[in-house]
Structure formats: structure tokens, C-alpha cells
Amino acid sequence: MSLVYAGTCCHSPAITSRGEMADPIVRAQLLAAFERQRQAIEDAEADAIIMVSSEHFANFFMDNMPTFSIGMADEYEGPIEDPNWLKIPRTTIPANPDLSLRIIKDVIQTVDVCFSQEWKFDHGMAVPLHFLTPNYETAIIPVNINCQALPISPLQRCWELGKALRKAIDAAPERIALIGTGGTSHWPCTPDSGKINNEWDRELIDHLINKRKDALLAYCDEKVYQDAGPGAFEMRTSVCIAAASEEQSGEVWFCEPIPIYATTCCITTLFQL
Amino acid sequence: MSLYYVQKLLYHLNRDPAQKQRFDDNKDIVLAEYSLTEEELHALKKPDIGLLYVLGVNGQILMHYATMNGYDWPQYIQSMRDGVTEHGPVREGLYAMIDGKGAL
Ligand SMILES: [Fe+2]
């Protein structure tokens, strides 16, 4: 059919691993926003979810780092992290290799994506899925954007990936939801871990929901690194979703700094039927 | 310059239980399979997590090696801070992008 829902959510592993250590009121609001997004995907009767994330050296390494990759496996597994630490049980995640193939064939006409027939999900996918498809009944098509190893994917190309994904989604008979994960200020796994620049986050989210292409593509990597930390390079996933849903303005469903989760947790809706 | 191989070894240890087992059984045999400098070998064997950070290992890879060696989260963070104090700013990779000191 076409795109039936698009949005973004956070993927900090601490949301599950250190879940109870946050302010219980703020945590309850975050979980309510995740539930609202889960319900929106269910109400949209999505046959599949294309999840755009930035993985953290779980599958891809600098021997052959794809700028973009799309999954085409028969099934996925995850989380790759210790399930006792992440507090998400290891499981098999359903796929749709036939739909993957059609999406890839279409996208590859304009954006040079790699494809992967083997993919272990890390927290970048596992945390959102834990809340959005808790029973693992919906087929997932993972998309990865390299936001970790220099040179990272240029923002302009992430925008074009979003456009290419949308065209491919609209050409498919299935009802498809599109979710981007991660991308607010954070300094993960560094001495600055826990630092948050909430003002920077709010400005980014405002550009995203208003689909301000020029503003989004004007972010410079050095300045992003300085203002919002290396974790903010993951804004590429949100930029991709904004491009795929450019015709509608979006809504912020949750956006609060949660220090124990080491980032501003955000949930937005960028497209609804 | 072999930051690449330091990270590759750690990536393998994080991802491949068989390689991790071989490393636990005999570090020297596994380390010999990667092209590493004396300083890198020392940092990996000790392990000196702070020095590995200064050498430029990405935290998304290094964090797991720290955990593997029994570091809890505050110890891991402190070891990177100590590393910068002792060995100077991060020399290569992502964290050398600005001044390599982070927000210390
Ligand atoms: Fe991330």
C-alpha cells in the first residue's frame, strides 16, 4: 500500500538496563509515549516496520564499513549484548526477505546501499523493539546508517536515503511503518557520558517536526561533536525519516533529558495517515 | 599506526565467543594474529583501559573490553579520565576530532 506511519524514538540501553533508576514520574511518561507509538503503529495496521538505526560495531566494522545497509535476512536475532545486562531476553525477530529485496532494488536505483543477509540487533534496534513490538509479531527490516566510524554518512545522503526509502515504500503493496532511532545529544562510553545538551536537542527536534531541510542539512559535524557529543551523529537516522515524510509536519510526544539514561529521550511522530 | 587492529581484536572478542575463549586461554597466541605495536600490546595485556582510550579506541568497543576485565561503569569512566591525565589527549580516531580531552 504505502507509508502508514513514521516517527522517531530513543534507543539508550539504559532505558532498560538502568530503567528503574530514573525519576519514576518521568519514566512513566516516557513509557506512555512509547506505548502511544506502539498503538499508533498497531492502529495503522502496519505489515512491516522499517527501522533505521545506527548500530554500535555489532555487525559492521572498519574492514568494510557500509555507509548504508539494509537487512535482507530470513530472520534476525538480538540483542547481541548480554541479555542480563540489557534486561531484554535474546530472541528471534521476524523478517520479510521478499519485501526487503523489493525495497533494496528500488532504493539502490538512487542510493548505493549495501545489503546484509545476516544481522544481529544491538540495543539501537532491541530497545525500541522491546517497547514497540513487545511480542515480536511484526516483520522488521533493519536499515543502518554509519554514524560511528569516520567518515560518517553525509547528512545530505541520509536525506536522499529517506527519499529513496519513501519511494520504495510507496511502491510496495504492504502497509509499512518507518521508525528512526537515536540521535539526541550524548557522549556515550566516554569520560563525558551523562552530559546532555537539552537546548541543542530541542532545536533539532523542532527542525525535525517542521521538516526544515535546509536547517537539518546545515549541521556541521565538528560543531555537532562539540555541542552535542559523538552520540548526536545519530541524528542521521531522524534526518532520514524527516526526508521520507517531508510533506507532513510532525508532533513531539515526549522530549525530556533523563540523566541516568545519559541523553534526552525523545519520541516524535513525523507522519500519520 | 595500528589502532585499526586494536579495535579489530576487541571487536572480535565482543562478537565471537570462540575467539574470546582462545584469548582467555592464551592471550599471546591471539595477540600475535594482529599487527600491534609494543605500546598497544602492553595496553591490551595489562589491561590499561585509559591508555586504550588515549590510543583512540572507540568507547562503543572499549566499554565491552572493560566489562570483560571486571570494570564496573564508574571504574570504566574513571580509567579513561586517568588515561588522559597520564598519557595526554586522545591521539587518533573519533575523540581526537576536537582536542581529545572531552569535557574534563
Ligand atoms: Fe546509539
pLDDT at A233: 97
Specify which residues A108 forms β-bridges with: none
Put simply, whether B1 touches A (Cβ < 8 Å) is: no
Is pLDDT at B102 greater than 70 in this prediction? no
User: Taking CB atoms and an 8 Å cutoff, what residues of chain A touch B14?
Assistant: 57
pLDDT at A249: 97
* Domains of chain A in sequence order: 2-260 (3.40.830.10)
Distance B27 CA to ligand 1 centre (A): 30
Contact A63 B97 (CB under 8 A): no
Is pLDDT at B104 greater than 70 in this prediction? no
* Domains of chain B in sequence order: 3-87 (1.10.700.10)
The span from the CA of B94 to the CA of B60, in Å, is 11
User: Taking CB atoms and an 8 Å cutoff, what residues of chain B touch A226?
Assistant: 98
pLDDT at A54: 96
Q: In whole numbers, what is the pLDDT of chain B averaged over residues?
A: 92
Amino acid identity, position A134: P
Collect the ranges in chain A with pLDDT lower than 70.
1
Over residues B59-69, mean pLDDT:
94
Q: What percent of chain B has pLDDT over 90?
A: 85
Distance B59 CA to ligand 1 centre (A): 11
Can you tell me whether residue B72 is helix, strand or coil? coil
